Structure 1
Amino acid sequence: MGKKGEEREMGMFFDGIIESMPLFVKELIAGGVAGGLAKTAVAPLERVKILFQTRRAEFHSVGLFGSFKKIAKTEGVMGFYRGNGASVARIVPYAALHYMTYEQYRRWIIDSFPGIGRGPVLDLVAGSFAGGTAVLFTYPLDLVRTKLAYQVVGPPKINVKGVVNTEQVYNGILDCFSKTYRGSGLRGLYRGVAPSLYGIFPYAGLKFYFYEEMKRHVLDDQKKNIMVNLVCGSVAGLLGQTFTYPLDVVRRQMQVQRLLASNSPELKGTMETLVMIAKNQGWKQLFSGLSINYLKVRKLPSHLYSRTCVCWIRVSIPHGYVHFSHTHVLKYVGHGCWIQVL
């Protein structure tokens, strides 16, 4: 009885903590749980995509399944999740910043440009500004994620000089932060941020356009169906990604610039890097790994999975578990996370 009483008291304690939390904090926790599960589910595909985008020599011509076999043989199962910790760690701060700054930008735009109205254009512009702000504050985690995913760490080897070599540059998130900052300063932590920012508004605009076009062909009695909206949003997002994907490749290659051979050309500006990749690596390299995005949508799309999860998450972790219930109005906060709006 004593143990059950302690468990009951602990449950009441956590219930009190959850109840005292502001609504947006509960929403962020729910979004973080769903986003973390989604990103972990597709982490193996993301790892291979980064290796393709950065043109890692060992994976350049072996294809998707050949890459899976090589990672499993060289690094084991955990190799598929290299860098995923940094990706998951970015979810909540990104969503929180997007959530908080969106309303601030929205009010500022309404006050400064009253003629813009309160329609979808306002949401598009405010959302793009909020996304840019969230990217700026959380970008170092994205850079760390790419660097960790880029390095392929095999079992320890002893070379002819008797020196142990694992070809591992970074030993985790903090070590990558520290070495990058010591080597290149704050600028090094933001290498490649420009193409990320350049792609935000075109992506948002294209996604909005494709979404509205698809919704025009949906039957009137289905337009409020949440799954119809989620599917339209997922497909629209994928089409938007396709048109802006070259900027993603540019970003990834700029992020790993310091890990490439010393005789590699210096990557400076976004357009210069774009032209260099097309000239030296071929225009197809600008779309390397794009098919993995399509595969994720066909097999297990992280964005649809996380949206579906958050559709049902209402209260988080009262007794160490996640409780589910139906919600109706969702708001996208980035990284595949949707939060409930009451």
Structure 2
Amino acid sequence: MAEGKGREVAATKAVEEDAWGGGVPLIVKEFVAGGVAGGVAKTAVAPLERVKILFQTRRTEFHTVGLLGSFRKILQTEGFLGFYRGNGASVARIVPYAALHYMAYEQYRRWIILGFPDVGKGPVLDLVSGSIAGGTAVIFTYPLDLVRTKLAYQVVGPSRLKNKGPYHSSEQVYQGILDCILKIHRQNGLRGLYHGVGPSLYGIFPYSGLKFYFYEELKRHIPEEHKQDVVMKLACGSLAGLLGQTITYPLDVVRRQMQVQALSTSNNKPGKGTFESLVMISQTQGWRQLFSGLSINYLKVVPSVAIGFTVYDIMKSWLKVPSRDEAAAGSAVTENWHRYMMPVNNSSPLPLKVMGINQ
């Protein structure tokens, strides 16, 4: 019995490897490609991300000087490395996040096609797959996003940071990623590491879904001779990111303010819930605050999406990831093989013909 089971596992693995075009599973290739793409893209736009967070969380000394003034102030206060404060946590978060996001999107898409063939392969498929994939990635990586925001929010000179002296005496100062995680957990437990996850999920479901929806819909309008043009794909991806970001940006602002609530000395703190926070910010800070930093985000999204898509495509090509249609076909082959390999009775774990025995 055990010997037959071993042959079943080996045969199934052989079919899966043949379906994926190599010994490495497809989801692993997509995971690696997505992680590399996310890390490279995030590092490239880290300075803009730092300033955007300072704008969103309404630090007065930065909110009043504008984009160029903020760059000068960071350079004078913290030096060149100040532009990348919090980027370590950002990359540590974005690598698994992007890896999970891309891989989950592709996997959910295949599962939906296999489980609900009547759905077809239209934009609705991408909307649903992208939304669920975004939520999955957020749940697994949110604590690192919280840490990244807190590290980027604090503005501390090198000497003060080394001596553990806060830039504002009433603020908590974190020495790094691990120190931040430990202090948050010590003060608020595991729940503290997920403070603000509500608006993150509310925001990522529509944003991620809309991004993939717009991207696939825009690609349908590309002339056939330019379908494989990388520049056209990047243009579609950038526009899709901009549209999705504009629609869901207020939720991102609420999320950031909730994340740094314990650090802020402002009296205009958001409420406990997402909706209450949205109303509170509108009433006390003005509705424009809900779109504060959006222009910077536009500058960040375009190169980030462009770099992300480019690196992802390069990595998929290098790792020999099959096309979506080929991958879906491989999933169908594997699914059918698993069904075919089900025991026909208690004494025969494999169909006799598969085992090379004639009836």
* TM-score bracket for the superposition, by shorter chain length: 0.7 to 0.9
State whether structure 2 residue 310 is matched by structure 1 residue 308: yes
DSSP 3-state at the match of 1:143: helix
User: Aligned AA for 1:305?
Assistant: I
Q: Is 1:60 matched with 2:63? A: yes
Aligned to 1:292: 296
Kept in 2: contact 1:38–1:303 (CA 8 A): yes
2:233 to 225, 229, 233: 229
Q: Contact between 1:257 and 1:267, CA under 8 Å: does it hold in 2?
A: no
Distance 1:203 1:289, change over 3 A: same
Contact (CA 8 Å) 2:250, 2:291: kept in 1 or not?
Answer: yes
Asked whether the 8 Å contact 1:28–1:92 carries over to 2, the reply is no
Matches within 5 A, 1:165-244: 165-167=165-167, 169-208=173-212, 210-211=214-215, 214-215=218-219, 217-244=221-248
Question: In the alignment, which residue of structure 2 is the partner of 1:82?
Answer: 85
The higher radius of gyration belongs to 2
Contact conserved, 1:131 with 1:200, CA < 8 A, in 2?
Answer: yes
Q: CA separation in 2, counterparts of 1:56 and 1:106?
A: 41
Structure 1 residue 92, shift from structure 2 partner: 3.2
Corresponding residue pairs, total: 298
Deviation, 1:93, is: 2.2
With the length of structure 1 as denominator, give the TM-score of the two structures: 0.76
**Gaps (5+ residues) in structure 1?**
1-18, 158-162, 316-323, 332-342
**Residue number in structure 2 paired with 1:73:** 76
Deviation at 1:94, TM superposition (A): 2.0
Q: Which residue of 1 aligns with 2:95?
A: 92
Q: Which residue of 2 aligns with 1:50?
A: 53
Tell me, yes or no, if the aligned pair for 1:311 and 1:326 is still in contact at 8 Å. no
Q: TM-score, normalised by structure 2?
A: 0.73
Matched residue SS, 1:170? coil
Amino-acid identity (%):
70
Q: Is the 8 A contact 1:98 1:131 kept in 2?
A: yes
CA contact (8 A) 2:30 2:103 kept: no
Matched, 1:136 2:139: yes
Structure 1 position 308, deviation (Å) = 1.4
Partner of residue 28 from structure 1, selected from 2, 27, 31: 31
- 1:169–1:33 CA distance, 2 compared to 1 (3 A): same
Structure 1 residues 281-319: Cα deviation after superposition (integer angstroms, max 9, x where no partner):
111111111111222356xx112112212332368xxxx
CA shift in 2, pair 1:35/1:164, >3 Å = closer
Please name the residue that 1:7 is paired with: none
Q: Does 1:120 align with 2:123?
A: yes
Please report how far the alpha carbon of residue 58 of structure 1 lies from its aligned counterpart in structure 2 after TM superposition.
1.3
Amino acid in the other structure paired with 1:124:
L
Deviation at 1:171, TM superposition (A): 0.6
Relative to its length, the structure with more strand (as a share) is 1
Cα separation, 2, equivalents of 1:114 and 1:164? 59
CA RMSD of aligned residues (A): 3.1
> Cα deviation per residue 1:128-164 (whole Å; 9 max; x = unaligned)?
112201101100000000000000002546xxxxx97
1:321 aligns with: none
Separation of aligned partners in 1, 2:224 and 2:111? 34
Given residue 37 of structure 2, which amino acid in structure 1 is its aligned partner?
A: A
Q: Distance in 1 between matches of 2:319 and 2:31?
A: 16
Q: How does 1:272-283 map to 2 (within 5 A)?
A: 272-283=276-287
CA deviations over 1:61-99 (Å, ceiling 9, x no partner): 000110011001111111111111111112332244335
2:234–2:305 CA contact under 8 A, matched in 1: no
Question: 2:154 matched to which residue of 1?
Answer: 151
| 8 A Cα contact 1:207 1:239, kept in partner | yes
Shift of 1:30: 3.9
Q: Compute the displacement of 1:325 (Å).
A: 9.1
Query: What residue identity is the alignment partner of 1:253?
Result: Q
Q: Is the 8 A contact 1:45 1:292 kept in 2?
A: yes
**1:54 touches 1:253 (CA, 8 Å); kept in 2?**
yes
Alignment CA distance shift 1:94-1:56 (3 Å)? same
1:77 and 1:106 mapped to 2: Cα distance?
A: 42
CA-CA distance at 1:267 after TM superposition: 2.6
**Correspondent of 1:258 among 262, 273, 276:** 262
